[in-house]
Structure 1
Amino acid sequence: MTDGDLNERARHLLRVMVQRHIRDGQPVGSRTLTRESGLDVSPATVRNVMSDLEELGYVRAPHTSAGRVPTDKGYRFFVDSLLTVQSLSHEHLKDRIIRLDADEDAGSDALIDSASNLLSGLTRLAGVVTLPRRSAVSLRHVEFLPLTDRRVLAILVLNEHEVQNRIVHTDRDYSPEELQMVANFLNQEFAGREVNSVRSALLERMQTDRERMNALMASVIEVGGKVFGEDGTGRDEGYVVAGQTNLMEFDELSNVEKLRGLFEAFTQKRDILHILDQCLAADGIQIFIGEESGYHVFDGCSLVTSPYSAEGEVLGVVGVIGPTRMEYDRVIPIVDMTARLLGAALNKKH
C-alpha cells in the first residue's frame, strides 16, 4: 500500500479501529478488530494490514503488544474519507433549540451564552462561541458621570445613534469638573474617528514620559483607556466557553499538567482566538486535529468549528473542543446546526 492508495480492506479496518477507539479510548488489538470488522480474514492478516498502516503513519502502538490507536493523520483520513455524518433532525434538538429560536427578547449576549451551553450540553465537550464582530464603529460623543467607590459612568454615542453605558473603576475619585475636561478633550480630539484608533492613540500617549504629562492628560489616559478597553468599546472581545470541566472525563486529557495547560488557554483566550479567527473565512465546518492547531497545548485535542452569519455578514464562529477521539459523526452536525440557529436568531434582532 502507498500513502495515497489504501485498498478497501485497509480503509474498512481503519474505520472500524477508529470507531472502536472513539468508543472506549483503549488500544485496539488485532483479534478485536478481526471480530468487529465482519471480514472473513485471520488475525494475522489484520496484523499485517495494521503494520502497513502504522508504517504509513495512520496508527501507532502505544505499548508493545497492546494494540494500536489512531494518530492525528489517521483521524484526519477518517474524517476526510471514511466518516458518515449523522443526520440531525429538528425533533432531536427541539427541547434545546427553544433557547436560541424562541426567545425574541433575549439580547445578543444571552444568545451567545445559550449557543455555547447548547454545544456543550449536546456534545458533552467544551462549547465555544466567539462574540459577534462589529463593523467599523465611530465615536460621536462621550460624557462622564462620577459614581461612588471610585467608579465612573461613561455614556458613549457610537456611529449615528447607538448609545452605550459603561461603568469603569478608576484608581482615584474624579470630580465632575475633571471628568468634564476629560470628555471635552476626547470629543475635541477623537469625535468622528474609528474607536480602535482612539485606543491606539491613547496607548501611544501612555508610552510617553509620564513625568511630562500634565494632570489633564494623566486623567485622559486613565479614564479614556479604561473606557475604550481591549477592542475600543470597553467590551471584552473574545469568546464565551461552556463545559470545560467535561474534558476532565477523558483519560487522555485528565492529567494535572494537561488540564492546567488547557484551562490556562481558555482563560488567556489568545491562542484559541487565533485558531478561531482562521475559521471566519471557512465555508462551513472546519476541523483542527491535534497538532494541526499549531499550539502544543491542544495536542491530543480536536476543534470542530463553523462560522455564523446574520444579514449575509459573518459575525463569528461556534465550535467544540474535545479529545481527538470525539464522536465526529455527532459533533459535526451539532456544530453546523448551532451555527445556523444562532445566525437565524441574530437575524431576528436586526
Structure 2
Amino acid sequence: MALDPFLPLSSGGLAQIDQRSREIFRQIVESYLATGEPVGSRNIARLIPMTLSPASVRNVMADLEAAGLIYAPHTSAGRLPTERGLRFFVDALMEVGDVNERDRANIETQVLAAARTTTVEGVLQEASALLSGLARGAGVVTATKTDPRLKHVEFVPLEPGRALVILVSEDGQVENRALALPPGLPVSALTEATNFLNARIRGRTLSDARQEMDSLLAELNRDLDALTARVVEAGLASWSGDGPGERTLIVRGQAKLLEDLRALEDLERIRLLFDDLETKREVSELLGRAEEAQALRIFIGSENRLFSLSGSSTIVAPYRDGQGRVLGVLGVIGPTRLNYGRIVPMVDFTARLVSRILGAPGADAA
C-alpha cells in the first residue's frame, strides 16, 4: 500500500527511543485508541510483555512526556498520546495488515452491487456511506466533475414564478437547478423550451452547448417568442459555473460520530467538527492535498488548519480512472482515536476497488 507520511517524526531523537520505551508508548496509544481514557503506570506494568515495576514505568513515561509524545490531561492522572505522539505511532510503530475477511466481503458486496445498478456518483456515495458505517466516522469522497453527454432536458413548473430545469445525462446522472421565470410566462412556454433544447443539445455535452450559445441565441430570437427565449437562456446559464474539473464533496454518516461520546468535551469536539464539515469548499481543498500526493494520506489534528479546533483525523486514499489519472479521494474523518490499523487498509482497499470499477490499470482490489 502506498502510504505517504506527513511528518518525518521517525528521524532524529525519536529514532533513538529504546525498545522498552517503545513498548510502553505503544500501550499508552493502544489504550487510548480503544477507550479514549488516560492509562497509568500500574496498568501499563501489567500489560507490557516484560517485567517492570510501576516506578520504572513512571520514569519511562516521564522521558516520553519530555519528548512530547504523551501528556497528562489532569494532575496525578494517567497519560494520553499527543498529536505528535500519534504521528510517531502511525509512521513508525503501527502495524498495518490486510482488510479482515468480514470487512472485505461487506465492501465488495455493496460497492459492486452499486456499480451494477447506479451511476459513478452512486458508487461513490455508497463507498462513502459504507466506510462511515465500518469505521464509525464520517465517510468522505471528493470527485472531479465530468462533462457527460446529455440525454434529456426538461423544465418543470414548481410554483408561480419558479421552475426546475433538469438535466439527465447518457450515463444516468441527474442534476437540477431552480429557475426564476419571467412574469406572465404561460405554462406552455416551459414545454416549448423543453422541446427546443432537446432538439438541439441531446447527445452533446454541456460544454458544447455553451460554446454554441451565440448560434443558439440567434435561433432563440428567430424561432421562439421573447419570454420563452429568456427561459431557455436562463436554463443554460444556470449551469455556467459548473464546468468539468470542478471538485465536489460527498459526506455521509456524520451521525456515526455521536455514537461513542464519553464526556462533554467530546460533544463539543464533535460540534466543532460538524461546523468544519459544513465548509465543504475548504474540506475539498484539504482533501485535494491527498490527490496531489497520489498516495494514502493521514492527517492528525492540527496538522491541518481546518480540523485543528475539533482535534480530528482524516484517512484518505486516491481512486483512479481507466487511464490511471487520479479522479478524487475517499476515506474517513473522525476523532484522533480512530482505529488507524484497521481503517488504513480498509480505506486503501475501497479506493482500489472503486478504481477497478472505473477501469484503472493495476487496480486489482482482490
What interval of TM-score do these two structures reach, taking the shorter chain for normalisation? 0.7 to 0.9
Aligned Cα root-mean-square deviation (Å): 3.8
2:257 to 204, 225, 247: 247
Q: Distance in 2 between matches of 1:320 and 1:164?
A: 25
Q: Structure 2 CA distance, aligned partners of 1:110 and 1:163? A: 10
Aligned to 1:170: 179
Question: Could you say which residue in structure 1 is the equivalent of 2:275?
Answer: 264
Aligned residue in 2 for 1:292:
303
Is there any run of 5+ residues in structure 2 with no aligned partner, and where? 1-11, 212-226, 361-366
CA distance in 1, matches of 2:307, 2:172: 42
Partner residue of 2:141?
A: 129
> 1:273 corresponds to which residue?
284
Q: Deviations over 1:181-215 (max 9, x none)?
A: xx99xx9xxx99958x98xxxxxxxxxxxxxxxx9
2:94 counterpart of 1:50: no
Give 1:206's aligned residue: none
Aligned partners of 2:125 and 2:174: how far apart in 1? Answer: 21
Q: Which amino acid aligns with 1:107?
A: T
One of 320, 338, 343 as aligned partner of 2:350: 338
The one-letter code sitting in structure 1 at the alignment partner of 2:141 is V
Q: Report if the CA contact (8 A) 2:318-2:351 is conserved.
A: yes
For 1:90 and 1:281, locate their aligned partners in 2 and report how far apart those are by CA, in whole Å: 31
The residue correspondences of 1:113-128 to structure 2 (distance < 5 A) are 113-128=125-140
Summarize the alignment of residues 231-246 of structure 1 with structure 2, pairs less than 5 Å apart: 231-232=242-243, 238-246=248-256
- Is 166-175 or 283-292 further displaced after alignment? 166-175
- Any conservation in 1 of the 2:27–2:47 contact (CA below 8 Å)? yes
Deviation at 1:20, TM superposition (A): 1.1
SS in 2 for 1:281: helix
Alignment deviations for residues 112-170 of structure 1 (CA, whole Å, 9 cap, x no partner): 12101210121122111123x146x499999775645321536699xxx8897754322
Q: 1:13 aligns with which of 1, 24, 33?
A: 24
Which of these residues, 95, 101, 105, is aligned with residue 94 of structure 1?
105
Q: How many residues align?
A: 321
3-state SS of paired residue (2:165): strand
Secondary structure at the residue paired with 2:132? helix
CA distance in 1, matches of 2:318, 2:266: 32
Identity level (%): 33
Unpaired runs of at least 5, structure 1: 199-214
| Cα offset, 1:4, TM superposition | 4.0
* Alignment match, 1:112: 124
- TM-score normalised by structure 1 residue count: 0.77
Please say if residues 290 and 300 of structure 1, whose CA atoms lie closer than 8 Å, have aligned partners that are also in contact.
yes
Aligned AA for 2:138?
A
String of CA shifts for 1:237-274, please: whole Å, max 9, x gaps: 52222221121223368655433322222233122111
Which residue in 1 is equivalent to 2:165?
153
For 1:127 and 1:317, the matched residues in 2 are separated by 11
CA contact (8 A) 1:166 1:227 kept: no
Aligned twin of 1:40: 51
Distance 2:177 2:130 in 1: 32
In 2: Cα distance, 1:59 partner to 1:134 partner: 43
Question: Where does 1:77-92 land on structure 2 (aligned, <5 Å)?
Answer: 77-90=88-101, 92=103
Amino acid in the other structure paired with 2:68 = G
In 2, Cα distance between the equivalents of 1:99 and 1:192? 31
Q: TM-score, normalised on structure 2?
A: 0.74
CA contact (8 A) 2:276 2:306 kept: no
Structure 1 residue aligned with 2:313? 302
Q: Aligned to 2:341, which of 317, 329, 337?
A: 329
SS in structure 2 at match of 1:84 = coil
Matched AA of 1:320: V
Change (3 A) 1:82 1:94: same
